[in-house]
Structure 1
Amino acid sequence: MYQELSTRKPITLTTLAKMKRNREKFTVLTAYDASFAALFEAAGVEVILVGDSLGMVVQGQSTTVPVTMDDMIYHTRLVARGCQTALLMADMPFASYATVEQGVRNAARLMQEGGAQMVKLEGGGALAETVRQLSRNGIPVCAHLGLLPQSVHKLGGYKVQGREEAAAQQIIDEALVLQEAGADVALVECIPAELAARLTEVLEIPLIGIGAGPQCDAQVLVCYDMLNITRGRRPKFSKNFL
């Protein structure tokens, strides 16, 4: 099935930038293998994310922290086989970009060995130099702000971020810093809808949201949550589409 040729032109960063300018929404879904990737692409999904969420929904871990680079490369390679026109984004796993040099090396692996077309990093302004060097090396970047699942132990749980004005302004400031450093896309997780709406207007780059209200340029969901096959309680913001 996933060997069939698609008639859609490949989705690129230029495509997403044009959609933002035209205020056209796009869709992002996670996938962890070729079959799901092909199904989502056939349904018209523009961006497929190989999320480190695979640690929880595929491996049965309690957090994303145990996921390794080898795990991410393996699943990205599988998804790439089912992707013909969707833009393929892959998460950089926990501690895989602790230094700038390590980040560039591991991002290059995701692209060369896994077939990713963009990498996603969790963190704020402190990652500016890493983002800058990735961009200089031709590696497209999605900057993940708000709730950072890889920092769950530091945060003390999965909590909404940016409720207070000072915290909201910090997220805005850090998003602008990362945009200036060369981030091509931003993603915000579990922030107030009003803050996400402000960010959507302030940023020139496309903004993807998850649990961040309807005003973002795109929405992303974990496919297992969407299909109601995640073990345990489904996130409040995720609708059961089955």
Structure 2
Amino acid sequence: MKNTVTTLQAMKTKGEKISMLTCYDYTTACLMEEAGINAILIGDSLGMTMMGYSDTLPVTVDDIIHHCASVSRGLKDTFLVADMPFMSYQTSVEDAVRNAGRLIKEGHAQAVKLEGGATVVEQIKAITKADIPVVAHIGLTPQSINAFGGFKVQGKNVERAIQILEDAKAVEAAGAFMVTLECVPEELATLISKELTIPTIGIGAGNGCDGQVLVYQDMLGMFSGFKPKFVKHFANIGEDMKNAFKAYDAEVKSQAFPAAEHNFAIDSEVMAEVEKHINTTEFTVNLDSDKVLA
């Protein structure tokens, strides 16, 4: 069944959990589609996972569109959400609507996600007024890493916990159809999930959320030196990939690959004529036309 805003809302109502993963390319999107993942996020995490930046801040709208369009070609039933990167919506409501529209029109996303609570309700209202579904993102918001002083759990004191709760209610009232809770204590995230009528998607926020999202390279163990507390390795694909690369390197150098079964044959008489031609013809090269002249 095709996942839509309506079906995801129905899953919360029925108490069914929603699965979401990040994705950045066509091949991986096809695999996630076949696996039955409910939703895919083209996260600005691609800045770190695909582009090698130390954080998400350098990512542009064009970057998101490029990866989102690629992923969309591999999907049929999976719901596709595109992140709005840093400074694509903070500058003005007009910029927010324009950039959200580009992600839908050029990236072929079905919804956009933006970080912030009460501070971005006007953007959420305007984007939803343009008939673009919005996923809000509160708690730890990576685009605010400089303000937070690093990647830290949010909502551990009374003041901050109440603020996150109020942010959740504010984005729901503004029209968001879903909200991501990142690095929020489990008890607080569970309370928020019960208070809201819209689905909550947790990342480091416990099992009381209506669904979960992870960066797919994290859950596949593709980063050997980095494993956040909230990440579980469902496979060790990173190690498998390294072993495969090493095996390829060794076989190329030993000439074990390519073997006979990987090669194409040519009739010996044809080769004899080619060799005869080489031995009896003088070749010159016309540098102006890049053509070989006999």
Q: TM-score, normalising length from structure 1? A: 0.95
Name the counterpart of 1:75: 67
Name the counterpart of 1:239: 232
**RMSD across aligned C-alpha pairs, in angstroms?**
0.7
CA distance in 1, matches of 2:173, 2:32: 32
Which runs of structure 2 are paired with 1:57-96 in the superposition (5 Å)? 57-96=49-88
Instruction: State whether residues 57 and 231 of structure 1, in contact with CA within 8 Å, keep that contact through their aligned partners in structure 2.
Output: no
Name the counterpart of 1:5: none
Q: Deviations over 1:36-60 (max 9, x none)?
A: 1111111110000100000001111
Q: TM-score, normalising length from structure 2? A: 0.79
Instruction: Compare relative contact order (CA 8 Å, sep 6+) and give the higher one, 1 or 2.
Output: 1
Structure having the higher Rg? 2
- The alignment status of 1:180 with 2:173, answered yes or no, reads yes
CA distance in 1, matches of 2:152, 2:197: 27
Name the counterpart of 2:97: 104
**How high is the sequence identity, in percent, across the aligned residues?**
50
> Helix, strand or coil: the match of 2:73?
helix
Between Structure 1 and Structure 2, how many residues are aligned?
234
Most deviating of 207-216 and 232-241: 232-241
Most deviating of 208-217 and 225-234: 225-234
Name the counterpart of 2:3: 11
CA distance in 1, matches of 2:224, 2:49: 7
Q: Deviations over 1:46-78 (max 9, x none)?
A: 000100000001111100001011100000000
Name the counterpart of 2:117: 124
Cα displacement (A) at 1:230: 2.5
Larger proportion of helix: 2
Cα displacement (A) at 1:106: 0.2
CA distance in 2, matches of 1:230, 1:31: 16
Moved over 3 A (4+): none
Cα displacement (A) at 1:166: 1.6
Most deviating of 231-240 and 213-222: 231-240
The unaligned stretches of length 5 or more in structure 2 are: 236-294
Name the counterpart of 1:200: 193
- The alignment status of 1:218 with 2:172, answered yes or no, reads no
What residue identity is the alignment partner of 2:207? Answer: P
> Helix, strand or coil: the match of 2:7?
helix
Q: Deviations over 1:53-110 (max 9, x none)?
A: 0000111110000101110000000000111110000100001002110000000000
